[in-house]
């Protein structure tokens, strides 16, 4: 008889649904999804995601609330109650840093259930404090294993005391087929789509929230330098997809400094976003802190060369220098500008080859890979 597996996330966004669907296809009704809240999450895009879960065994603890206004202990108690009533034997939680997650981990520990964590944390994400690391090590002892994004995440878990043989990769996966298929469709109707969305013939694409750590201000500075370097050539545009607390300030700056070539496209639903990926010439992510960077997966699945901040967890795993992309110091605007010039000066055949390499490299990082890692961990549980 198969063990009952429960996967818990704050909300089941497009990313989570793709991973959960792949696991459900492999193990059937042995898996249950538990969503903490039904309200808006960081990567939640609305009605389409609600419809996308049709037929999947997903329960929502608080359908009409979001993580900002729910009591964490109440959330933990509700999650434990569902785990008990459903007879969950193997539990997967998205971390261990909040009260409700520690309540679930403690419940599993006391009741001799296997509890695993999803982890995207690297040692160099933040300055580490001794007492906090000590506290984490105590929690790690209660976990049966983990699924993480890449080598750097695994190394950090090992440093905290988790056995290496109980850590598998595959967490940071997106629906590659969706992005590769939709971006190809966008290119098949290129002229119509460029006109519809007001997109230039050549452009760098950035997809992120407009918050400080995403470093959009420095990216704009780098783009201004880039245009100066391309004064006698044909500079590409810069299309910024996203929104957030810095949006108004960034728009005002571009207007005040009269920087041409920048398009603020706003937040986009998945279908429209795939068009922006499909018609872009190169993707760029400039964050100063980035545990992984799933937009890199999306861009690579769309067949794009990528310019990626060195601090992204995905950079270590997905970017092969000069083959499918280039990495840079996110604090150095001059370096970013120089790489933008380098990409612009490449022959079209080279850019196409880099995009093809991106697509080939990202395909193994699939929802099916995630599902395989879950099954492997469950097979180790006692």
pLDDT in tens, 31-71: 999 999 987 554 444 444 455 677 899 999 999 898 988 99
Identify whether residues 233 and 301 lie together within a single domain: yes
Domain span at residue 357 reads: 176-362
Give the model confidence (pLDDT) of 150-189 as tens digits: 999 999 999 999 999 999 999 999 999 999 999 999 999 9
Q: Please tell me what DSSP assigns to residue 281.
A: S
pLDDT computed for residue 44 by the predictor: 42
Identify whether residues 119 and 211 lie together within a single domain: no
Give the model confidence (pLDDT) of 192-231 as tens digits: 999 999 999 999 999 999 999 999 999 999 999 999 998 6
Identify whether residues 192 and 311 lie together within a single domain: yes
Identify whether residues 61 and 145 lie together within a single domain: yes
The long-range contacts involving 163-168, CB below 8 angstroms and separated by at least 24 positions, are: 166/377, 166/380, 168/373, 168/376, 168/377
Question: From the CA atom positions of the chain, what is the Rg in Å?
Answer: 22
With 90 as the cut, is the pLDDT of residue 3 above it? no
Identify whether residues 117 and 213 lie together within a single domain: no
End-to-end CA distance of the chain: 14
Residue 30 dihedral angles phi and psi, to the nearest 5°: -75, -10
Q: Which residue has the tokens 């694409």?
A: 205
Identify whether residues 272 and 169 lie together within a single domain: no
Q: Which residue has the tokens 């996110």?
A: 330
3-12, 36-45, 198-207, 243-252: least confidently modelled range: 36-45
Mean pLDDT of the chain: 93
Identify whether residues 157 and 233 lie together within a single domain: no
Confidence of residue 4 (pLDDT cuts 50, 70, 90): very high
pLDDT computed for residue 46 by the predictor: 45
Greater confidence (113 vs 123) lies with 113
Identify whether residues 256 and 149 lie together within a single domain: no
Q: Provide the angle, in degrees to the nearest 10, between the axes of the packed helices 216-229 and 333-344.
A: 50
Identify whether residues 274 and 376 lie together within a single domain: no
Of 354, 239, 235, whose CA–CA distance to 304 is shortest?
354
CATH number of the domain encompassing residue 319: 3.40.50.2000
Q: Please tell me what DSSP assigns to residue 52.
A: T
Identify whether residues 163 and 218 lie together within a single domain: no
- With beta carbons less than 8 A apart as the criterion, state whether 378 and 3 touch: yes
pLDDT computed for residue 230 by the predictor: 85
Q: Provide the angle, in degrees to the nearest 10, between the axes of the packed helices 72-86 and 99-110.
A: 30
Domain count, the chain: 2
Give the model confidence (pLDDT) of 354-375 as tens digits: 999 999 999 999 999 999 999 9
Identify whether residues 18 and 162 lie together within a single domain: yes
Of 234, 202, 240, whose CA–CA distance to 218 is shortest?
240
Of 354, 343, 42, 340, whose CA–CA distance to 218 is shortest?
340
Identify whether residues 100 and 183 lie together within a single domain: no
71-80, 130-139, 305-314: least confidently modelled range: 130-139
């Amino acid at each position: 008889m198969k063990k009952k597996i429960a996967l818990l996330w704050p909300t089941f966004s497009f990313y989570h649904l793709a991973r959960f669907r792949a696991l459900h296809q492999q193990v059937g009704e042995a898996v249950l999804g538990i969503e903490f809240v039904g309200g808006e999450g960081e990567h939640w895009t609305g009605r389409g995601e609600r419809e996308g879960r049709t037929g999947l065994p997903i329960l929502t603890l608080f359908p009409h609330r979001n993580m900002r206004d729910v009591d964490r202990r109440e959330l933990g108690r509700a999650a434990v109650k569902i785990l008990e009533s459903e007879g969950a034997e193997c539990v997967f939680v998205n971390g261990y840093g909040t009260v409700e997650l520690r309540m679930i981990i403690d419940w599993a520990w006391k009741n001799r259930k296997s509890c695993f964590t999803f982890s995207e944390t690297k040692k160099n994400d933040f300055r580490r404090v001794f007492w906090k690391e000590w506290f984490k090590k105590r929690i790690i002892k209660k976990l049966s294993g983990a699924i993480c994004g890449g080598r750097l995440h695994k190394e950090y878990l090992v440093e905290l005391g988790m056995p290496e043989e109980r850590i598998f990769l595959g967490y940071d996966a997106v629906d590659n087929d969706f992005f590769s298929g939709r971006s190809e469709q966008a290119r098949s109707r290129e002229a119509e789509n460029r006109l519809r969305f007001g997109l230039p013939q050549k452009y760098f694409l950035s997809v992120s929230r407009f918050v400080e750590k995403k470093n959009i201000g420095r990216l704009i500075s780098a783009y201004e330098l880039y245009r100066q370097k391309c004064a006698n050539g044909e500079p590409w545009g810069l299309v910024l997809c996203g929104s957030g607390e810095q949006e108004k300030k960034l728009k005002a700056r571009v207007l005040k400094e009269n920087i041409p070539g920048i398009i603020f496209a706003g937040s986009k639903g998945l279908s429209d976003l795939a068009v922006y990926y499909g018609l872009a010439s190169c993707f760029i992510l400039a964050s100063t802190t980035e545990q992984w960077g799933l937009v890199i997966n999306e861009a690579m699945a769309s067949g794009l060369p990528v310019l990626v901040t060195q601090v992204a967890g995905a950079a270590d795993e997905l970017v092969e220098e000069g083959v499918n992309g280039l990495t840079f110091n996110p604090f150095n605007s001059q370096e970013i500008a120089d790489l933008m010039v380098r990409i612009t000066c490449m022959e079209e055949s080279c850019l196409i080859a880099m995009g093809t390499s991106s697509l080939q490299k990202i395909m193994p990082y699939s929802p099916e890979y995630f599902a395989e890692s879950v099954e492997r961990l469950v097979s180790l549980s006692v």
